[in-house]
Structure 1
Amino acid sequence: MHRIQFDNDETAFRQFYTDNMFRLFQFAFTFVQNREQAEEIVNDVFLRLWQNRSRISQIENISVYLYVAVKNTAANYRRQSKPRDLGAVHHFYLSPDPEQILITDELRKKIAASIDGLPARCKLVFKLVKEDGLSAAEVAAILDISYKTVTTQLTIALKKLEEALRPSLPKNFSASFKKK
């Protein structure tokens, strides 16, 4: 961030964009349900960040700043465009890690279907905390809800996922999961 702000380093900015674009695109997509608009929203946010790079050091938490900027920009897009079908399905993709490679394809499909089956707010909170790695406090700031609401929604999401996946999990999985 220092190189971007003080050296006007476009290479550093491109790398920062690349590192953050996809998760912000997914977040924007949950609001507008349109690929092109979601891309435009993210690009608008990054363009404004570049234009105001001299003030980057004033941003306390750049990750929260980006999510809030995307949320606000998406709200502006929604106000300017025609009403959308609010019943549309949200799609989230789990990023692979070594443990997920070991999961069978069938279980992977059950996990994705279970996440898709979560209520909208639970799904959004789950995605931001578990997939994007944000803290509950950051999610609360981004979504402008209380910390308690975030933790409650995350608890609901995890319980629903455990219930949906219980038949596919080893017998002792629930007991070992709760001990951690």
Structure 2
Amino acid sequence: MDAKEDDIFLLKLISKGNEQAFKLLFETYFTPLCRFVRLYVKEGTQAEEIVLEVFENVWELREILHIKVTFKAYLFQSARNRALNYIRNNEKFIWMNDMSIFNFAETDSKLEEQELLNLIEEAICSLPEKCEVVFRKSRFENLSNKEIANEMGITVKTVEAQITKALKYIKEYLGDSYSFLW
């Protein structure tokens, strides 16, 4: 069984009230979701609270929850929505007379850029663990494929395959809206 089939199986058990299945799902996704939410909410404790709310919601709705995408995608989307709601509900408002100091075109551009970076990070966080590690070492630590292979005890071909897999997944994740990047 792959991760998607495992999640479907666990979700069926959870819908019947199986606490062990819920615990396993929680242990699998809690840390990656917290890392992801921290992209939006800088406080670690607040990020953890948001993720706990996501899992609490899953447990409360377990009997009627019908997921149309993968469970992993559902969790990340729920976490993103809750983080954005938190930001919206807790942001400080800028009064009109203070707004003259902003260059709105620049602000919009920076917001769009940040949103794209957040989407890319969301995609990276939802990669399989080994694939994510290889991709981060390649793109963020600037290690060569050979260095990654030596460090992780895998072949260079495996590193290349993982990077290719990651890039393909990220491209699909971003969809047509960002096809100009590729």
- Residue equivalent to 1:124: 118
Structure 2 residue runs of 5 or longer lacking an equivalent are 1-10, 94-112, 129-168
Contact 2:50 2:83 in 1 (8 A): yes
Amino acid at match of 1:127: E
Q: Which amino acid aligns with 2:86?
A: Y
Bigger Rg, which one: 2
Residues 96-111 of structure 1: pairs in structure 2 closer than 5 A: none
Equivalent position of 2:6 in the other structure? none
Give the distance between the partners of 1:21 and 1:48, measured in 2 at CA.
14
TM-score normalised by L of structure 1: 0.53
Identity in percent: 23
Give the number of equivalent residue pairs: 112
Q: Is the 8 A contact 1:5 1:53 kept in 2?
A: yes
Task: Classify 1:137/1:51 alpha carbon distance in 2 versus 1 (closer, same or farther; 3 Å).
Answer: farther
Name the CA shift for 1:53/1:79 in 2 (closer, same or farther; >3 Å): same
One of 15, 20, 32 as aligned partner of 1:11: 20
Cα separation, 2, equivalents of 1:13 and 1:127? 25
Which residue of 2 is the match for residue 149 of structure 1?
A: 177
What is the deviation of 1:129? 3.0
CA contact (8 A) 1:42 1:70 kept: yes
Confirm or deny: 8 A CA contact 1:32 1:74 kept in the other structure.
Answer: yes
- Distance in 1 of aligned mates of 2:24 and 2:115: 31
Q: Distance in 2 between matches of 1:152 and 1:27?
A: 25
Q: Which residue identity does 1:14 align to in structure 2?
A: K
Which residue of structure 2 lines up, in the alignment, with residue 30 of structure 1?
39
The verdict on how the C-alpha distance between 1:148 and 1:13 changes in structure 2, with shifts beyond 3 A counting, is same
Determine helix, strand or coil for the equivalent of 1:55: coil
Give me the CA root mean square deviation: 2.6
Tell me if the contact between 1:45 and 1:69 (Cα under 8 Å) persists in the aligned partners.
yes
TM-score, normalised on structure 2?
A: 0.53
Deviation sequence 1:153-178 (CA, Å, 0-9, x none)? 5x4xxxxxxxxxxxxxxxxxxxxxxx
Separation (CA, whole Å) in 2 of partners of 1:19 and 1:138: 23
Which sections of structure 1, spanning at least 5 residues, go unmatched? 85-118, 141-146, 156-180
* 1:76 positional shift: 1.7
Correspondences of 1:19-168 after superposition (within 5 Å): 19-56=28-65, 58-61=66-69, 62-83=71-92, 120-133=114-127, 135-136=169-170, 139-140=173-174, 147-153=175-181, 155=182
Q: Distance in 2 between matches of 1:131 and 1:46?
A: 17
Inter-partner Cα distance in structure 1 for 2:37 and 2:172: 17
